[in-house]
Amino acid sequence: METRKVQVTGGSTYTVSLPKGWATDNGITGGSRVEFHPEEETLLLMPQRDEERIEGSLDITGQDGEELMRAVVTMYVSGFDIITLETAQITAAQRRTIRDATQGLVGLEVIGETAGRVRLQDLLDSSELSMENAVTRMRLVATTMLSDAVVALIDGDDDLAADVIQRDDDVDRLWSMVSRVFRSVLRDPAAAAEIGLDRETCFDYHSSARQLERVADHASKIATHAQTLDTPPEDASEAIQGLHDEATEIIEMGMDALLESDSERATRLANDARQRVDGIDELARAVDDRIRELKPQQAQALGLIVDSLSRSADYGGNVAETALQNAAPKP
């Protein structure tokens, strides 16, 4: 760490010298311009860069299916504005996978194709992306999926179960967008100014979005079981519905606490949510007692559903924990 003494010139101008090593490494010379990004008591300094899109390329030789899908998502989340995927000869299967991946990512479009290359570009302005809106949307979709998955199980509604599974793609799309914005904020302080959030808040939203993405995954898992299971007996259905209601309440309270601007109210909501998580295990055991006498295959599958609902409550508790940290006095 280096330190510098602040000088006052002209009676009102504060000046400080830059470390020569840092200036040289970043191409700073006489006449160069730098950017200052204030964050409460912190002042971040960085070289002023021309507005330019970040380009990245990836050799996809031998990649296909899930591996290629993950590669495209990784490049997108990493913050590349223009992505070039290349190999000696792109196969028809690779092109289909690339298009499927592109359709699952907010703002990404195919802008050019040749025999050995596909170019993708993010067409959205990052300043137009709202992490808060994305997380709020994830909350609505994930909790609705969880509710509909339980309804599909209890009512034996295979069409509703299939719809829940399909909606998981919507949550994944939002999760990837939140991750992309979060990484851009970590990399470039100017990005935080563009979206109007400080980096600590971005971290809290990103962390909570991850929990909501997991809730959606478990809703999809419940819906998948619902497609193969017979309708549970009435007493088991009532017990599962009760566990779902409690888990959803914890998720909602955690999210309310996270988005609450009044720190005192946020702390109260978050603490209430955390306390209710402690009772989930006991409630889950009571449900297990109801389904234990069923046929082994059905009892096992319903046990997995109970586990998914319990885990969803835990994820709501994690959001509440993040809200507590956010509402705590800052050092």
- Residue 228 three-state SS: coil
Please give the model's pTM, rounded to 2 decimal places: 0.84
What is the per-residue DSSP string for 112-167? EEETTEEEEEE-S-GGG--HHHHHHHHHHHHHHHHHHHHHHHHHT-HHHHHHHHHH
Pairing of strands 117-122, 108-114: antiparallel
Tokens of 216: 């959606």
CATH of range 127-327; options 1.20.58.220, 3.30.470.20, 1.10.10.10, 3.30.1490.20: 1.20.58.220
For the chain, the structural domain boundaries read 7-47, 55-122, 127-327
Class of the 55-122 domain?
alpha beta
Q: What is the spatial distance between Cα 284 and Cα 280, in angstroms, rounded to a whole number?
A: 6
- The burial class, CB within 10 Å (0-12 / 13-18 / 19+), for 11 is exposed
Print pLDDT tens along the chain (331 aa): 667 777 677 667 767 777 767 667 677 776 667 666 666 666 666 666 655 678 999 999 999 999 999 999 999 999 899 999 999 999 999 999 999 999 999 989 999 999 999 999 998 766 567 889 999 999 999 999 999 999 999 999 999 999 999 999 999 999 999 999 999 888 877 777 778 888 889 999 999 999 999 999 999 999 999 999 999 999 999 999 999 999 999 999 999 999 999 999 999 999 999 999 989 999 999 899 888 888 888 999 999 999 999 999 999 999 999 999 999 887 6
Q: Which residue has the tokens 């835990």?
A: 314
Q: What is the spatial distance between Cα 172 and Cα 232, in angstroms, rounded to a whole number?
A: 30
What is the per-residue DSSP string for 32-101? --EEEEEETTEEEEEE-------EEEEE-TT--HHHHHHHHHHHHHTT-SEEEEE-SS--HHHHHHHHHH
Same fold, 55-122 and 127-327: no
Q: Please report, for residues 115, 140, 207, 251, the alpha-carbon distance to residue 278 in angstroms, rounded to integers and kept in the order given.
A: 57, 24, 21, 14
